[in-house]
Structures are given as structure tokens and as C-alpha cells.
Amino acid sequence: MSNDVVVAGVGMHPWGKWGRSFVEYGVHAARAALTDAAVDWRDVDLVVGGETVRNGYGGYVAGATFAQALGWNGARVATSYAACATGAQALDTARARILAGMCDVALVVGADTTPKGFLAPNAGERWDDPDWLRFRLLGMTNPAYFALYARRRMDLYGATQEDFAQVKVKNARHGLSNPYARYRKEVSAADVLGSAVVSDPLHLLDICATSDGAAAVVLTSVEHARKLGLADPVRVRAISTVTPTFPNTVLDMPNLSTDSSAVAGAPERTFKESIAHAAYEEAGIGPEDVGLAEVYDLSTALELDWIEDLGLCRRGEAETLLRAGDTTIGGRIPVNPSGGLACFGEAVPAQALAQVCEVTWQLRGQAAGRQVEGARVGITANQGLFGHGSSVLLSR
């Protein structure tokens, strides 16, 4: 039995700092996705909202919030939260109901209005919350973890700050023609290396910003897609929302230490490796079939890690691909043709859905100015705080 569902429509609100309610962004993206799918809002029978916990009570019940803003139509609603993996979890919720035969058309929406500066825990004292503790005890903002991962990569594989800078150069070039990107400007390696050091070895231009933005996806069953006249649609072949396997021997934000492997040996795969592996297994597709990848480049160095975690090359070889131009548009395996978070910034509940939007446009041949020619399979990679995996595999 196939687990495929169809991406009938996608839509986004441009990323930036607009100073408006996340609901406004989400409605914009939702209407764009419905228009793209040629689906009337009244025909949507499920709305899944990705919640954002920084925007007041309405952010916690995003499914109903978006359903009300679009105009009550009697649809079922659900709300998902998995930090940066929220969009994938919301998409999986919609897919499950479609595959169960309880829904024909689902609208999945994620939107955010972010605070200025670093993302930080909500106010209050929570001594059993590692996310709160790392700020209170160590002053460990997210970029401090990104720097630890970068330093690990340098020590293990010989990566250099120049390699990290070239990731930014590549992604900035990719994002130039993306109408939804916040930053659309050429960047040189010298610009990156000359920007302020935030957390050694990472500079300001190595690290993504926080942004306002939204993305939406309309999913349908394969049978309903035929009724809509979609002859060769993009299909969701797999969604991976796996959690780590004990012992977790690679430091994972926001934790302050790893698990010991003294008694129980290290698992066959790291957490991030297991995310993509589960997607490949479900879809029956291997990394050799992938034509492009949208990955979670919180920092330039993390993009290199993800290339290996996705199995696109062997461990320690990502720099070789980068230096050869293989990860740029026109290369063997383009990574972040959208421009990635380097050009967008973080809009937490929306970013996993934004990756799906980009892969859909690429597989349809609609990514003007940044098109990966001949792409038939694309994969996304993401990760949410507290062990939330996120990978979506799509094909034409």
C-alpha cells in the first residue's frame, strides 16, 4: 500500500521583519496555496496549524486561529508544535488523516513573528528545563552551540573558516532571484570573514537571522488529485519525525552534555543521520536518487554536516563537494537552491513547510532564476529542539 499523498498547492509570505501578526502572514500564505491548488477554501476539510509559542494565546491554537481568520468553514482542526520541526509534524498529521481515509483536502499552515535578536526561552524560572538552564547557567545562546559544531567539524575533518564562508557565498547567490527571501544580495568570502565574530569560529554572516514569515501546503489524497485534474503532481513520499536513539553521543542543543556510551555502545547512526535514513527507508528511495536538498543551515558549518547526514557523500567529504561546486545550482547535488536560512532567517513554525514549498517548485520546474534542471526527487532536512526529527522526501 502506498503512503503517497499529493502536494496540490504551495504558498508563502515573504520573509522579513514586518512587525505584523503571524496570523496575517499565515492567511496570505494559505490563500496563495489554495489558489495554486485551484481549491476553494470551503472544500478544505482539515486545517493543521503550526503553533508559535511567542505570540500570545492564539499562537498556541494555531489550527483554529487560521481557520477562523480564513472564515469558519466547519473543517476539522489540529495544532502541532515541535520547535523548528513544527512544519514537518503538522504535515505528517495532515498526511495521516488523508491516508486513514478521513480527509480529502488538508491545509497546513505555519507562520511566525519573531523577536529581535537571539531566540530565547520564555520568562520565568524552570530549573528542570535544559533550554532555560543553558541560558541561566552558561549564557549559551544558539550561536554558541553552532560554534561548537563548527569547531568539531574543523577538528575532525579539517574544515576551515574559508569553507564556511563559501557556504554563505553560495547560498546568497542562490537566493538572489527568490522573491520570498529576506536577504537578496551577493556576498563575498571576504565579507563573511570580515564580519564580526559572534562565537568563534563563526562570524555574523555565518549565522542565520530571525525573521517573520509564513508557508502553507495543500495536501490531497492521490484519488482527489485526479479529480482536480493533476496528471503528474509532486507527491510526498515520506515524512520522518524520528527521535534520537540512546545513547545520544553527539551534543544536541539545548543539552549541556552527551549520554555515556560506556555501557550501551553508540548507536549505528547519529540522531541527524537517522532522520534522513528513516525517510529513505519509508520511500524506498536512496540518496543516490536525490536531485536537490533543502537543509537547515542555522550556520554555514551546519549545512556541511547535513550534506553528510543525508548520505549525499561520505563523512568528512562535504568540503570536497563544496569546493568542487557540486552543491551549487548546476552541480551534482544542489543544496539550498532557495538560498536557505542564510537568505530567509528563522520563522520557526514555517521553515520546514517553506522547504517543502521550494522543493515542490523545483520539481515542477517553477523555480525561476534558481531552477535545478531535471530534478525529480528532493529531500528536506530539519531538526527541532528536544529531539524532533524533520525530513520530507518528495518526488515527481
Let me know if residue 311 belongs to a domain. no
Question: At 13, which helix (H) or strand (E)?
Answer: strand 5-16
What pLDDT sits at residue 163? Answer: 98
The C-alpha angle 32, 38, 43, rounded to 5 degrees, equals: 95
φ, ψ of residue 203 to 5 degrees: the values are -100, 170
What pLDDT sits at residue 223? Answer: 95
Q: At what angle do helices 300-309 and 161-174 cross, to 10 degrees?
A: 90
**Side-chain-side CA neighbours of residue 108 (13 Å):** 34
State the cell numbers at 240: 520522518
Please name the residue that has the C-alpha cell 555574523. 204
pTM for the complete prediction? 0.96
Torsion region of 387: left, alpha or beta (phi above 0 gives left; psi -120 to 50 gives alpha): left
- Separation between Cα atoms, residue 335 and residue 303, nearest integer Å: 8
**Number of domains into which the chain is organized:** 1
Let me know if residue 22 belongs to a domain. yes
What residues have CB less than 8 Å from 140, skipping those under 6 apart?
A: 134, 254, 256
Please name the residue that has the C-alpha cell 477554501. 41
What pLDDT sits at residue 124? Answer: 85
Let me know if residue 62 belongs to a domain. yes
Let me know if residue 345 belongs to a domain. no
CB 341 within 8 A of CB 296: yes
Q: At what angle do helices 271-283 and 300-309 cross, to 10 degrees?
A: 50
What pLDDT sits at residue 60? Answer: 74
Let me know if residue 201 belongs to a domain. no
Let me know if residue 387 belongs to a domain. no
Let me know if residue 71 belongs to a domain. yes
- Separation between Cα atoms, residue 351 and residue 265, nearest integer Å: 34
State the cell numbers at 233: 503532481
Supply the CATH number for residue 106's domain.
3.40.47.10
Q: Considering only CA atoms, which of 317, 374, 334, 380 is closest in space to residue 175? A: 334
Would you call 106 helix, strand, or coil by DSSP?
strand
Let me know if residue 302 belongs to a domain. no
Question: At 110, which helix (H) or strand (E)?
Answer: strand 105-112
Determine the structural domain holding residue 90 and report its residue range: 5-117+211-227
Enumerate residue ranges in the chain where pLDDT < 50: none
CA Rg, the chain, in Å?
Answer: 20
What pLDDT sits at residue 22? Answer: 93
Residue 263 has what DSSP assignment? S
